[in-house]
Amino acid sequence: MSIPTRNPLWRYWVQSTKKELEGKLGTTFLLSNGMLGLRGAHEECPPWGRPEFYVAGTYASGPSGLLGFHDADHILSHPERIRQDALALLGDDAIVTLPNLPFPIALRVSVAGVRFSFETHKVLSAERLLEIDNAVMRRTLVFRDETGNRTRIDSVRLVSMADPNLVCLKARVRRLNHRAPVDLGGYLHEEVTNTNGIVLWSAGERFADRSARGMECITRGSRISIALAQCEKVINAGDDISIELYAIAGAMPLAEARLRADSARELGFEHCLAAHVESYQRQLRDSRVEFDGLPATVQGFNFGQMHLHMALSPIAERTGVPIKGLTGHGYRFLTFWDMDFHMFPFYLMTRPKQARKLLEYRYNQLPRYRENAKKWGAKGAQVPWETSTRGREETAPWLCLQDREIHISADAAYMFKRYAEITGDASVMLDMGAEFIFETARFYASRLKWNEARGLYDLPGVGCPDQYHTFADNNVFISLWAQWNLSYAAELFSRAEYQAVAGRIGVTRREADEWREMARKLFVIEPDADGIIEEFEGYFDLEPDLDGICETYCAHSQAVKQPDVLAAFVPFEGRYSSEIRRKNWRYYNARTLHGSSLSFPGMAYAAARCGLNDEALHHLHQACRLDLDDINLDTERGVHVSIGAVEWGAVVCGFGGLEATGDGLTLRPNLPRQWNRLAFAVYWHFQRVDVEITRGGVTVAVGDEADCAVPVRINDGAWRTIAPGAREEVRTDE
């Protein structure tokens, strides 16, 4: 008998019966389609098994127990806002998050009339396997009862990429050493809670019969009605006993959910599986990246890519992409700059039509952002640091981020510009972008202060993205963004096509001239005599000795959580030579503690873009393993979805040397010495472009989905315009 070998690049599996690992395994075996998020819990839902199931956009509100409280020593706590009674001040309904809903594919298995449970039976084997290339989880469970009967259950589950409301499970039971009767049934497991035992839904209407059941869950506070229906089909074919469960969940009438679950049952499991795999693999093909790295690196990279697809909701124009997708309660399913700055470039280059939804999400919330600016005494529109479908600032009130980590407004504004450039669809600027960019320029203008002594504007009172220095002036990353936003808004104003938008929101020539002048006269820290860029004014004077430094004891030192000088090189690379970027990479590498999951991939990206390839590869590997190996010991709170996007940037833009602009695609291949091949697909003007880089050359093949030729340039060669359906091979000098 030949034993099939599992391909570690696309398969990830864990055999464990350790209860204390359930938090982490629930995350790493999670499946989602952006609408539904189903954690990798056991179907039998043992009390410690953490069954969790979330529906996008169904935010409920509850008490402060939903939040971890930061004490006064925490680096992000605001010295004035953090008070002993801060929790009490919050009230009972202040915190929003998605409610954990009944687990939709729960299973009862009885052998000889005795129901299996992890507590009463001996579990001989429990293996979970993730098929990363199919977005499917398989599980094998072998148990023995008191009488010595051994039974094996093999199940496979999916959260459908073809039907956003569908979850399916098929489980097959085999009697290994007995003939005792087996009884199988599905149910909705209702004993579920959010953090600290808090329940965020109440039951409404219900139905139940022999092979179907359902209920309405009404969210706390927001009173959203979510229907949950499950149909089952038991197949008893002699020795082969199996069950199929079809669950539909979403904001719809319960009767509709029941009908849809029933239709899925009619279609059958194999049909639902095939439709799901077909739809998911299409997405994977659109963003394919192949490289001959270490298997553990590639596996983690593929895992990250899978999560980017699983996080992008079909209703992302309303929900955005929550920082951890629907994978876990950490950060309460809110959106952060991770979406605009880190994830958007990936979606833009691989799924441009869906990427537009992120622009719509930000633009639709613009009225709330205007209110947010007023709340903090600023003008224009200020994007909240953390927000949900309601567009308000949701950051815990005792933190010091809301009015200080203000780069997020420009991070969001930049998406509109990039979308218009890369897709060629300038209508987004007329419909949404110009207004957004004018309003965020107003915001930055209202935050600048004239410094008489210097004869320049300062941007004081900001919190550095590095998050160990949250009270700073003139942070280079934030100042560069403010400068860009002000000058780009002035440039847009000078274009005739945006006059109507400007007129509608009252932008005058005088205001636009002020923006231009402010951008010109904004103080931005430049590299010093050694080429090092000071992260913010006064950073060089901080304690350089990092021994004993940790998150509650670091603000006095040069330790950074993630290096924002290196992050500034992503949008503003053109300002700095590669020599300056290398020097800064080495300088900040010595000072970075990687407290943020964004740090390893961000440093991989920055290193690869300036030719520090060995360093880049090391950091890429760490990033790729972060969740699978639980490097930061917080995977149980959910997947760090944005790191997958930054890893993509490190590989495609770093090692592939891709630069995408409105003029076309430039490739400056920079393969690490350990690799011989890198291939990837991206989109430009909605046209697919496949790139293959080897030691000998570069091949570029242009698709024929759009009627559009693609200008491509290799290194500093001439631009070639490649026609739809054509390919070109260029020898390189390696």
For residue 597, the minimal CB distance to ligand IFM (Å) is 6
CA–CA separation, 375 and 368 (whole Å)? 10
The stretch near ligand IFM (CB under 6 A) out of 111-119, 566-574, 593-601, 680-688 is 593-601
The stretch near ligand IFM (CB under 6 A) out of 23-31, 210-218, 245-253, 595-603 is 595-603
The stretch near ligand IFM (CB under 6 A) out of 8-16, 535-543, 594-602, 709-717 is 594-602
The stretch near ligand IFM (CB under 6 A) out of 86-94, 104-112, 330-338, 570-578 is 330-338
559 binds ligand IFM (CB under 6 A): no
For residue 634, the minimal CB distance to ligand IFM (Å) is 10
* Beta strands, E only, 561-696: 658-661, 664-667, 677-684, 687-694
The stretch near ligand IFM (CB under 6 A) out of 124-132, 262-270, 334-342, 574-582 is 334-342
Question: In Å, how far from its chain's centre is CA 425?
Answer: 25
477 binds ligand IFM (CB under 6 A): no
336 binds ligand IFM (CB under 6 A): yes
Contact pattern for ligand IFM over residues 627 through 646, marking x by CB under 6 A: ---------------x----
Residues between 491 and 550 with contacts to ligand IFM, criterion CB under 6 A:
none
* Tokens (6 digits) for 153: 């259950």
* Nearer to ligand IFM (CB atom), residue 242 or residue 596: 596
- The total number of residues shown for the chain amounts to 734
CA–CA separation, 303 and 392 (whole Å)? 32
465 binds ligand IFM (CB under 6 A): yes
For residue 561, the minimal CB distance to ligand IFM (Å) is 7
Contact 681, 691 (CB under 8 A): yes
- Interface with ligand IFM (CB under 6 A), residue from 27, 230, 354, 596: 596
597 binds ligand IFM (CB under 6 A): yes
Strands ordered across the beta sheet of 182-189 = 114-115, 103-111, 182-189
323 binds ligand IFM (CB under 6 A): yes
CA–CA separation, 182 and 109 (whole Å)? 7
The stretch near ligand IFM (CB under 6 A) out of 272-280, 416-424, 591-599, 663-671 is 591-599
CA distances from 705 to 345, 683, 709 (A): 21, 10, 11
* Nearer to ligand IFM (CB atom), residue 305 or residue 470: 470
* Nearer to ligand IFM (CB atom), residue 118 or residue 477: 477
CA–CA separation, 734 and 732 (whole Å)? 6
For residue 673, the minimal CB distance to ligand IFM (Å) is 31
CA–CA separation, 284 and 350 (whole Å)? 9
Contact 355, 345 (CB under 8 A): no
For residue 408, the minimal CB distance to ligand IFM (Å) is 9
For residue 402, the minimal CB distance to ligand IFM (Å) is 13
Kindly give, in sequence order, each residue whose CB lies less than 8 Å from that of residue 500, ignoring residues fewer than 6 positions away. Answer: none
308 binds ligand IFM (CB under 6 A): no
For residue 308, the minimal CB distance to ligand IFM (Å) is 14
- Interface with ligand IFM (CB under 6 A), residue from 41, 264, 598, 653: 598
Q: Give residue 591's identity as a one-letter amino acid code.
A: R
For residue 596, the minimal CB distance to ligand IFM (Å) is 4
For residue 574, the minimal CB distance to ligand IFM (Å) is 24
* Nearer to ligand IFM (CB atom), residue 42 or residue 342: 342
Max CA distance (Å), the chain: 90
CA dihedral 646, 135, 334, 684 (to 10 degrees): 50
* Tokens (6 digits) for 556: 């006095």
Picking from 86, 97, 92, the residue whose alpha carbon sits closest to that of residue 398 is 86
CA–CA separation, 590 and 592 (whole Å)? 6
* Nearer to ligand IFM (CB atom), residue 539 or residue 675: 539
Asked whether the CA dihedral 529, 535, 540, 545 is positive or negative, the reply is negative
The stretch near ligand IFM (CB under 6 A) out of 13-21, 107-115, 336-344, 528-536 is 336-344
* # residues contacting ligand IFM (CB under 6 A): 10
What values do phi and psi take at 179, rounded to 5? -125, 15
For residue 254, the minimal CB distance to ligand IFM (Å) is 36
For residue 655, the minimal CB distance to ligand IFM (Å) is 24
* Nearer to ligand IFM (CB atom), residue 245 or residue 464: 464
For residue 420, the minimal CB distance to ligand IFM (Å) is 25
Asked whether the CA dihedral 466, 469, 475, 476 is positive or negative, the reply is negative
Task: Say which residue the tokens 């990250």 belong to.
Answer: 304
* Nearer to ligand IFM (CB atom), residue 401 or residue 700: 401
Q: Give residue 716's identity as a one-letter amino acid code.
A: D
For residue 29, the minimal CB distance to ligand IFM (Å) is 21
* Nearer to ligand IFM (CB atom), residue 350 or residue 642: 642
Q: Give residue 471's identity as a one-letter amino acid code.
A: F
**If residue 204 lies in a helix (H) or strand (E), which one and from where to where?**
strand 201-209
Q: Give residue 443's identity as a one-letter amino acid code.
A: F
- Interface with ligand IFM (CB under 6 A), residue from 52, 145, 338, 535: 338
- Interface with ligand IFM (CB under 6 A), residue from 337, 363, 493, 683: 337
* Nearer to ligand IFM (CB atom), residue 512 or residue 643: 643
* Nearer to ligand IFM (CB atom), residue 334 or residue 693: 334
Task: Say which residue the tokens 């999400």 belong to.
Answer: 361
Quick check: helix, strand or coil at residue 281?
helix
Picking from 135, 300, 293, the residue whose alpha carbon sits closest to that of residue 640 is 300
**If residue 128 lies in a helix (H) or strand (E), which one and from where to where?**
strand 122-131
For residue 405, the minimal CB distance to ligand IFM (Å) is 8
Contact 506, 512 (CB under 8 A): no
Listing DSSP states for 584-615 in one string gives HHHHHHTTB---STTHHHHHHHHHHHTT-HHH
* Nearer to ligand IFM (CB atom), residue 401 or residue 580: 401
467 binds ligand IFM (CB under 6 A): yes
For residue 642, the minimal CB distance to ligand IFM (Å) is 6
> For binding to ligand IFM (CB under 6 A), which residues are involved?
323, 336-338, 465, 467, 596-598, 642
